[in-house]
Chains A and B, each alone.
Chain A
Amino acid sequence: MDYTLVEVFSLPFMARALATVVVLALAAGVVGLGISFRELEFVSDGLVHAVFPGLVIGAAVGGSAGLLPGAVGAALIAAVLFTVLGRRTNGGGNDVAIAVVLTGLFSLGVVLVSQQHSYVSQLQALLFGHLLTVTPEQFWQIVVVAVLAVGIMLLTLRAQLFRAFDPVGFAAAGFRPLATDLALAAATALLTVAGVQALGVLMVVALLTVPMAVARLLTRRFALLIPIAVLVPLAAGSLGLWWSFAWSVDTGGTVSAGAVVVLLLVAAYGIAVLWRLAGRALARLGGGADAGAARSGAATGGGAR
């Protein structure tokens, strides 16, 4: 690879792609906290697939300008639907219902998009995204939607944390669980919409779930979760863009930047898993006895008697 980071990102379209990655990384770090703490990864996948027919309908009605409204509409409807389904099963999520809705809406999207003239290219763009060809207008749309998602999360962060930790205590304290759930679902839906144009329907779920999953594997300190969950997609995004650009130029082909970014995110997750396993093995081998004694002391010692 003969291209430095500075060279690559001084190109306007690459700078815009990097800026998109930065915006999505920041939003994913914040919204991902709610998704991870509430174990809503599968629901997020359902949301992503629900966005697909919205994108198709939006494109059919308003061309590229219709993509965002279509996606936002579909995502918010799905968010409400999944939240209500989840509550009817005591908040545990109704996996069967979500699976049915997920596949049904995805199939609907495929059927709708197959009616279009440029079926294959449109389908490809919707499924795999177009990180390198994000237009200035689309970039600002992504910024607005991401800011909305982050805003909703920050305004409800305390409630989300309490709700995730102790749902019974949360309701007893006078909070409104449905409003909190809807806020989280809306934030997730908006982040999905923000990410889907760049990464595509098939890969945006990685943005929703992997950064915080990596953060939770790397640290047990709450204060570090969001910073790590922002840095991980930032690093994966920058490297992915750089490498996909260089490989595309070197090979004369087109390497999907979104796919490389997602692969790097998944690689980060793999490394984090290994890190956690290595830490546990070391604790067992080296300081196992000491750590065990310390844990035992912590469990029984101190505090009022």
Chain B
Amino acid sequence: MPSPDGDARSDGAICVDPSSAHESPVADGAGEAAVRLRNAAFGYASRARVARLNLEIEPGSAVALIGPNGSGKSTLLRGILGLAERVEGEVEVLGTSPARARRRTGTLPQADTRETELPVTVRQVVRMGLYRELGALRPLGRTGRDAVDAAIERVGLAAFAQRRFGELSGGQQQRAILARALVANPQLLLLDEPFNGLDRENRDTLLTLVAELREEGRTVIVSTHDLEIAQRACTHALLLSAGHHPEEPGHPAAYGPLDSALTLEAVEHAFQDATVELDHHTVTTTRETE
């Protein structure tokens, strides 16, 4: 399987399990992990939705978080942010607790969480990304204004900066939210299903941006149903499988560099009763029976 850039990358790694660190291409002493999970489980009301997570994500990796509905992709992202309950295990993000790491983390939540009727412009939306840093009263200042303009420019919305957010197309809205995530110069980016409902052009733009962010040394974790996205923009893949019954949490089916993790077998294991495309092959998987 080809990597997004057509060759095997070695600038980041998911160390699958502490006991199998030799699988990491950068096991020779790279800096602190962007995300480190030790037997972690995340959920709500003390009930795990995703469990058995043992991995280290090295800085500069772009990780595709792949799995069917109910496998716990969004819960895992929320767990990394400290918003989902850590039911068990250990979590370290950017060398500290998830809550402390939020200031250095940018997020692109799922598209249905925004109130598009509010009369806020694209520029105002992007400014929101600096509110945490600015606090209640500190003015934006020239530095802040420049950062906002640069983020808008970067996602290609300079011509739309004064446009009302609700007037933009779905893809443009996603790009505006990505600009909001980027404006505070985060080290870690969490993108939750950013490609849902996008046309080809907006999709390509986002893919290019993800690849650029990774090349700048930022760590990107992107949840998606779409395997093509993983192949084009990511260095690594974490496949999550849904539990066999509703009470059973989702769990990792495969993880590691893209070419070793994103295999037909792993996809078949993660996606049960689904038809997916991989390497120009259409695969129809069947539900596993115990």
Contacts and interface: CB of A to CB of B under 8 A. Distances in A.
Nearest to B125: A165
B11 interface: no
Interface in B152-178: 155-160, 163-165, 167-169, 172, 175, 177
A291 to B, nearest CB: 12
Place the interface of chain B in its size category: 35 or more
Contacts of B169: 299-300
A172 B132 contact: no
Q: Which 4 A-B pairs have the closest CB atoms?
A: A304-B156, A174-B102, A168-B113, A172-B107
Contacts of A161: 120, 124, 128
20 contacts: A161-B124, A161-B128, A165-B125, A165-B128, A169-B177, A172-B109, A173-B102, A220-B119, A221-B119, A222-B119, A222-B124, A298-B160, A298-B168, A299-B167, A303-B155, A303-B157, A304-B155, A304-B157, A304-B175, A304-B205
A305 B204 contact: yes
A40 B219 CA distance: 39
A263 B289 CA distance: 69
Nearest to B99: A174
Contacts of B172: 299, 303
B205 A165 contact: no
Contact of B132 (A174, A220, A225, A304): A174
Contacts, number: 105
Interface string B117-128: 011110011001
Contacts of B78: 172
A245 B125 CA distance: 47
Contacts of B180: 169
B63 interface: no
A283 to B, nearest CB: 14
Contacts of B137: 155
Given A164-B115, A166-B115, A169-B177, 6 more contacts: A158-B131, A161-B128, A165-B115, A165-B118, A295-B167, A298-B163
Interface of B: 78, 81, 83, 99, 102-103, 105, 107, 109-110, 113-115, 118-121, 124-125, 128-129, 131-132, 134, 136-137, 155-160, 163-165, 167-169, 172, 175, 177, 180, 190, 201, 204-205
A247 interface: no
A298 B131 CA distance: 28
Contacts of B83: 171-172
State the majority secondary structure of interface residues on B. Answer: helix
A216 B164 CA distance: 14
State the majority secondary structure of interface residues on A. Answer: helix
A162 B131 contact: yes
A169 B167 contact: no
A167 interface: yes
A304 B167 CA distance: 17
Q: Which of A158, A299, A303 has the most CB of B within 10 A?
A: A303
Contacts of B120: 161, 165, 222
Interface string A100-143: 00000000000000000000000000000000000000000000
A196 B206 CA distance: 52
A156 interface: yes
Contacts of B129: 173
A175 B125 CA distance: 16
A158 B157 contact: no
Given A158-B131, A165-B125, A173-B129, A303 B115 contact: no
Contact of B136 (A158, A174, A298): A158
A304 B164 CA distance: 18
Nearest to B114: A166
Given A298-B167, A303-B156, A172 B114 contact: no
B113 A166 contact: yes
A175 B156 contact: no
Given A174-B103, A220-B164, A303-B175, A37 B136 contact: no
Given A159-B136, A169-B177, A173-B131, A222 B121 contact: yes
B212 to A, nearest CB: 11
A249 to B, nearest CB: 43
A285 to B, nearest CB: 21
A302 interface: yes
Contact of A302 (B121, B160, B204): B160
A174 B159 CA distance: 30
B118 A164 contact: yes
A248 interface: no
Nearest to B127: A158
Given A173-B131, A219-B119, A168 B168 contact: no
Given A162-B131, A166-B113, A305 B99 contact: no
